[in-house]
């Protein structure tokens, strides 16, 4: 679990990558400052989101639009302590992109450095990094629409 040193006062976005067994969660400011990211068991996801919303000024939840999105969106709307706006974001290729991002965030050490880039497998689940990418995709889409 990685928290930043301080709690932001500006609104933040909560990224959520839902899955059958595990989910990725991340909290990022509009300035793209990462405040939190973690992979949690699916059955703990709702409680984790509620806890993060008590700790951070979450203004929006973004989540991937693929496989289990509709079911999770419905479950979040029913079970969260307080309602939250949920935006679905295109998550195609996010797992591949998350693998690359993992190695940017945690550069390979030892023998892993010698492996060709495409053969490196992160040593842990990367659903939290997918959640980070979903927030970034949402923010990019937002800035693109403001620029036009």
pLDDT digits (tens, 9 = 90+) for 77-106: 999 999 999 999 999 999 999 999 999 999
**pLDDT score at 144:** 76
Q: How high does pLDDT run on average in the chain?
A: 90
Full set of structural domains in the chain with CATH: 2-147 (3.30.420.140)
Instruction: Kindly indicate the confidence band of residue 1, based on its pLDDT and cuts at 50, 70 and 90.
Output: very low
Give CA–CA dist 26/98, Å, rounded. 13
pLDDT-derived band at 67, boundaries 50, 70, 90: confident
Residues 127-143, mean pLDDT to the nearest whole number? 94
């Amino acid at each position: 679990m990685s928290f930043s040193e301080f709690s932001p006062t500006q609104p933040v976005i909560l990224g959520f990558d839902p899955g059958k067994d595990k989910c990725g969660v991340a909290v990022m400011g509009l300035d793209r400052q990462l405040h939190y990211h973690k992979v949690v068991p699916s059955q703990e996801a709702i409680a984790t989101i509620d806890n993060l919303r008590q700790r951070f000024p979450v203004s929006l939840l973004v989540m991937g639009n693929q496989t289990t999105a509709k079911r999770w969106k419905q479950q979040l709307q029913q079970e969260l302590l307080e309602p939250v706006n949920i935006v679905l974001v295109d998550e195609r290729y996010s797992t591949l992109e998350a693998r690359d991002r993992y190695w940017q965030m945690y550069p390979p050490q030892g023998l892993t450095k010698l492996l060709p880039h495409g053969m490196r497998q992160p040593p842990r689940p990367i659903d939290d990094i997918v959640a980070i990418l979903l927030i970034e995709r949402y923010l990019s889409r937002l800035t693109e629409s403001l620029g036009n």
